[in-house]
Amino acid sequence: MDFLVQKALDGDHRSIARLISLVENESPFASQIMAHLYAYTGKAHIIGVTGSPGAGKSTLLDKLISSFKGMGKKIGVIAVDPTSPFSGGAILGDRLRMQDHALDTDVFIRSMGTRGSLGGLSRAAYEAAMILDACGKDVIFIETVGVGQSEVDIVKIADTVCLLLVPGMGDDVQVMKAGIMEIADIFVINKADRDGADRLAAEVNIMLDLYGKKAWRPPVIKTIAETGEGIDELSKALLDHRQYLSKSDEGKKRFYSRIKMEVEEILKREIAKVVEERWKECCNDELISALCAKRIDPYTVAGRILGDIFSRG
């Protein structure tokens, strides 16, 4: 295990992939691996890219990878596969499109399942991002489909959140009111070759102005991911946001809340394991019949088990 971790820290992609798999599959070594890597984390710029399916996230990422590679950056990409079974084709498309980069030793690309749980999404993606950070990646992109909770979850993981909107896809300002405006650090109006891009950009700008003063005013950038138009401006905005984070309290605030979340998540996970084990030990036919016959209630049962767990330590 130590050898594998050392090779990963040296930047070996196979070893990094193995570590991510071990952690993703909740191997008994997972905690040990993450604990060891922790000291090496904190250097990467983690960028979340979110937006509706088909908004052009993968196409845009492909161009961003080239742009950041040109700056000599080492790059990691975590594409969180949506749970929808209809998206199989899209995932394959992503792989094909990014395959040139995948052969590259400076770019590490990994797709992840969500296993049907959004909590799972944030944890697995977070841990993979931490592994890539520790293993020397300078920039880590996390692509997530913007459906409800995952948009909010990405904020907990990323330093910079990019929200892709597309003209004529129902991504109008009405839709965005539901808390999405607050999460984006950079707005990207992709498919700017389509009608309505200027209007959508203007609407977003008005909305941002109405939202009042913020130390960081999210820029609204028009892109055509297919041709690469606007990518330079977007790359610059990403770098600017990183600078802003490092110079203001905001970067520290995000870091603190991430660390707090991490400890809390570990606690919850470990406690859940203990609870599950103890419940398996305690649960028997006799107890179930007692519950069915109303001789005892579920609250009392749970209270006794909890009391037992905490007294036994």
Ligand X SMILES: Nc1nc2c(ncn2[C@@H]2O[C@H](COP(=O)(O)OP(=O)(O)O)[C@@H](O)[C@H]2O)c(=O)[nH]1
Handedness of CA 38, 40, 43, 49 (dihedral sign): negative
The piece of 33-41, 120-128, 204-212, 220-228 that touches ligand X (CB under 6 A) is 220-228
Site for ligand X in 33-52 (CB under 6 A): 51
Residue 144 sits in the site that holds Mg ion (CB under 5 A):
no
Yes or no: say if 77 and 141 are a contact pair by the CB < 8 Å rule.
yes
Q: Which neighbouring-strand residues pair with 129?
A: none
Site for ligand X in 226-245 (CB under 6 A): 226
Q: What angle do CA 224, 51, 98 make, to 5 degrees?
A: 60
Pairwise CA distance, residues 92 & 113, whole Å: 13
Minimal distance, residue 57 CB to ligand X, in Å: 3
Minimal distance, residue 219 CB to ligand X, in Å: 18
Residue 59 sits in the site that holds ligand X (CB under 6 A):
yes
Pairwise CA distance, residues 42 & 31, whole Å: 18
- Cβ neighbour number for residue 68 with a 10 Å cutoff: 22
Which residue number places its CB atom closest to Mg ion?
58
From candidates 15, 50, 52, 58, binder to Mg ion by CB under 5 A: 58
193 binds, among ligand X, Mg ion, none (CB under 5 to 8 A by kind): ligand X
From candidates 13, 63, 191, 242, binder to ligand X by CB under 6 A: 191
DSSP code of residue 188: E
238 binds, among ligand X, Mg ion, none (CB under 5 to 8 A by kind): none
Pairwise CA distance, residues 222 & 47, whole Å: 18
Q: Which amino acid appears at position 177 of this protein?
A: K
142 binds, among ligand X, Mg ion, none (CB under 5 to 8 A by kind): none
Yes or no: say if 112 and 79 are a contact pair by the CB < 8 Å rule.
yes
Q: Print the binding letters for residues 113-152 with ligand X: x by CB under 6 A, - otherwise.
A: ----------------------------------------
- Any idea of the CA torsion for 214, 192, 55, 68, to the nearest 10 degrees? -70
Residue 50 sits in the site that holds Mg ion (CB under 5 A):
no
Yes or no: say if 139 and 73 are a contact pair by the CB < 8 Å rule.
yes
Minimal distance, residue 80 CB to Mg ion, in Å: 9
Which residues are at the interface with Mg ion (CB under 5 A)?
A: 57-58, 94
Which residues are at the interface with ligand X (CB under 6 A)?
A: 51, 53-59, 90, 93, 190-191, 193, 224-226
